Chains A and B, each alone.
Chain A
Amino acid sequence: DTAVSQTPKYLVTQMGNDKSIKCEQNLGHDTMYWYKQDSKKFLKIMFSYNNKELIINETVPNRFSPKSPDKAHLNLHINSLELGDSAVYFCASSIGGDPTEAFFGQGTRLTVV
Chain B
Amino acid sequence: AQSVAQPEDQVNVAEGNPLTVKCTYSVSGNPYLFWYVQYPNRGLQFLLKYITGDNLVKGSYGFEAEFNKSQTSFHLKKPSALVSDSALYFCAVRVLYGNNRLAFGKGNQVVVIP
Contact = CB atoms under 8 A, between A and B. Distances in A.
A107 interface: yes
B100 A31 contact: yes
Given A48-B99, A48-B101, A99-B100, A106 B42 contact: yes
A102 B45 CA distance: 9
Interface residues of A, number: 28
A96 B46 contact: no
Contacts of B94: 99
B49 A55 contact: no
Contact of A42 (B100, B102, B106): B106
Contacts of A42: 104, 106-107
A96 B90 CA distance: 21
Given A101-B49, A102-B100, A90 B44 contact: yes
B99 A45 contact: no
A42 B102 CA distance: 13
Contacts of A33: 101
B96 to A, nearest CB: 8
Interface in B46-68: 46, 49, 51
A101 B88 contact: no
Given A41-B88, A101-B34, A101-B49, A90 B43 contact: yes
30 contacts: A31-B100, A41-B88, A41-B106, A42-B104, A42-B106, A42-B107, A43-B44, A43-B90, A43-B104, A44-B104, A45-B102, A48-B101, A50-B99, A55-B99, A56-B96, A90-B43, A96-B100, A97-B98, A97-B99, A99-B32, A99-B49, A100-B49, A100-B100, A101-B34, A101-B46, A102-B102, A103-B46, A104-B36, A104-B44, A104-B45
Given A45-B102, A96-B100, 15 more contacts: A4-B43, A41-B88, A43-B90, A43-B104, A48-B101, A56-B101, A90-B43, A96-B98, A96-B99, A99-B51, A99-B100, A100-B100, A101-B34, A106-B42, A107-B42
